[in-house]
Amino acid sequence: MLQEESDLSLVIAQIVQKLKGSNLYAQLERQAWASLQRPEIKLESLKEDIKEFFKISGWEKKLQNAVYSELSVFPLPSHPAAPPEHLKEPLVYMRKAQGSWEKRILKSLNSMCTELSIPLARKRPVGEQKELLNKWNEMGTDEPDLSLFRPVYAPKDFLEVLINLRNPNYENGDSLSFRTHLGLIQVPLKVKDIPELKEFFVELGLTTGQLGIDDSTQVPPELFENEHVRIGQKVLAEQDSAAAQQYIRQGSPTALRAELWALILNISSQPEDILYYEQLKTNVIQHDLLVDSLIYKDVKLTASNDDYYFVFEDYLYQVLLCFSRDTSVLGHFAYNSASPPKSYIRGKLGLEEYAVFYPPNGVIPFHGFSMYVAPLCFLYHEPSKLYQIFREMYVRFFFRLHSISSHPSGIVSLCLLFETLLQTYLPQLFYHLREIGAQPLRISFKWMVRAFSGYLATDQLLLLWDRILGYNSLEILADCPKSIVP
């Protein structure tokens, strides 16, 4: 009991600390000062009156949403004496594997750099800046010569690394038993089994209505759809993040989805946010990064060739180029097993004072990265809002899909979960695929790494991502391929 209480107070302290530096805090303070003018605020009961005022005016709800947002992202409570690496990743062998994978990526990037003799970053001449500013809304028309650039890595390279992951403390033994895991992933991580999944995903049960199934043409809308839409509108009117997250587990109506996601991710387009985005845009205009060419190449190779997303090509550049300049993204490395690569000013290699993170947001894009953004273009059309939503989705969910960690939503656990489910419940299929040399994970890995973007029709994909937001977990991605593979 005492331990729980002290854990809780630790968590509270950390959240308060985090929120104190946020814009919301400044706004609340301003509101509190302004409210002193109001007649109902009396000096004797100042604290209660202001609290009451916050409740009525909706500010308490905003604070609640902010706290809920922090809780969703906050890593699991750990021992107060745990070093920061443990927050990133508690298992040593995982950390080591991630470290060596990062080294490989950097080596690949550096060698491309020297081969093409292109600097990692350079300042654009004024003429070029002007040109880019004019073309900002149609960067897709630009056709730079990208033939010499290659993506730094592709999902299949990453899969090879995961296959070779081993826990040095775990002795498998050579004898085969019915417990032997026949899949590619050979690390002993705890993943949920079907009864646990059933409990976790209780709202996806057969007896509960679902959008995407129970709103099809044969089912009369009175049975489920109408009521569900009505509740959705109510949730939006209340502006309650937690309620929205619960609601969306059954899927979101098309017309409400954009607002619901913004509510769950606690994104509201404040003038400061728009200004911040404009600042990032200025950074893009002033400096050219090598990573930009990688982004261009990726968009041209993937999203531009997609039947659904080719239309949004220009938005993708506007989001991804700004994303790579956004240093606020560095914050997520506190709970990401990955670490941002460092670059040293010429001639000062190894001297920490001359180190900068490269790219500024610490994220090196890989082949298919732009597909994380593409489906969002369906919902958000204003660039700064689209940007915020994507950034939040990335630092909450997508980063786990390409870093090595033991987190239950990390890609390693997802792969293991997928293979375990398949082996347990469709053993003949699993065995057959293994015999013909087509390990099922090799097929489904790329689907999971991209969170199915580009592999599922957009309406299906958005319903799937509804559930990711609703359950605050990526485990649904491992469950999905089980029904597709057969």
Q: Are 121 and 288 in contact (CB under 8 A)?
A: yes
For 61, the 3-state DSSP assignment is helix
**Is there binding between residue 122 and another protein (CB under 8 A)?**
no
**Dmax (CA) of the chain:** 79
Figure out which of the listed residues 254, 282, 286, 472 binds another protein, where binding follows CB under 8 A.
254
**Is there binding between residue 390 and another protein (CB under 8 A)?**
no
Figure out which of the listed residues 216, 347, 352, 353 binds another protein, where binding follows CB under 8 A.
216
Stretch that binds another protein, among 59-67, 98-106, 135-143, 342-350 (CB under 8 A): 135-143
User: Which one, 52 or 259, has the nearer CB to another protein?
Assistant: 259
Min CB(384)–another protein separation in Å: 16
How far is residue 217's CA from residue 4's CA, in Å, rounded to a whole number? 50
Structure tokens at 231: 């509740």
Min CB(322)–another protein separation in Å: 17
Figure out which of the listed residues 103, 123, 342, 381 binds another protein, where binding follows CB under 8 A.
381
**Is there binding between residue 217 and another protein (CB under 8 A)?**
yes
**Is there binding between residue 298 and another protein (CB under 8 A)?**
no
**Is there binding between residue 101 and another protein (CB under 8 A)?**
no
How far is residue 188's CA from residue 471's CA, in Å, rounded to a whole number? 24
- The β-bridge partners of 356 are 343
E strand or H helix at 62: helix 59-73
User: Which one, 6 or 233, has the nearer CB to another protein?
Assistant: 233
E strand or H helix at 444: helix 440-449
10 CB contacts (<8 Å, ≥6 apart)?
Answer: 77, 80
Q: 10 Å Cβ neighbour count for 395?
A: 20
User: Which one, 24 or 374, has the nearer CB to another protein?
Assistant: 374
Residue-wise burial string across 136-158, b where 16 or more C-beta atoms lie within 10 A, e elsewhere? eeebbeeeeeeeebebbbebebb
Interacting residues with another protein between 257 and 286 (CB under 8 A): 257-258
Figure out which of the listed residues 40, 85, 131, 138 binds another protein, where binding follows CB under 8 A.
138
Q: Are 445 and 398 in contact (CB under 8 A)?
A: no
**Is there binding between residue 129 and another protein (CB under 8 A)?**
no
Q: Are 419 and 480 in contact (CB under 8 A)?
A: no
How far is residue 300's CA from residue 371's CA, in Å, rounded to a whole number? 11
Min CB(267)–another protein separation in Å: 17
Min CB(254)–another protein separation in Å: 5
Binding-site size, another protein (CB under 8 A): 27
Figure out which of the listed residues 108, 304, 339, 472 binds another protein, where binding follows CB under 8 A.
304
Query: By the criterion CB under 8 A, which residues form the site for another protein?
Result: 137-138, 140-141, 143, 216-217, 254-255, 257-258, 304-305, 307-308, 310-315, 377-379, 381, 458-459
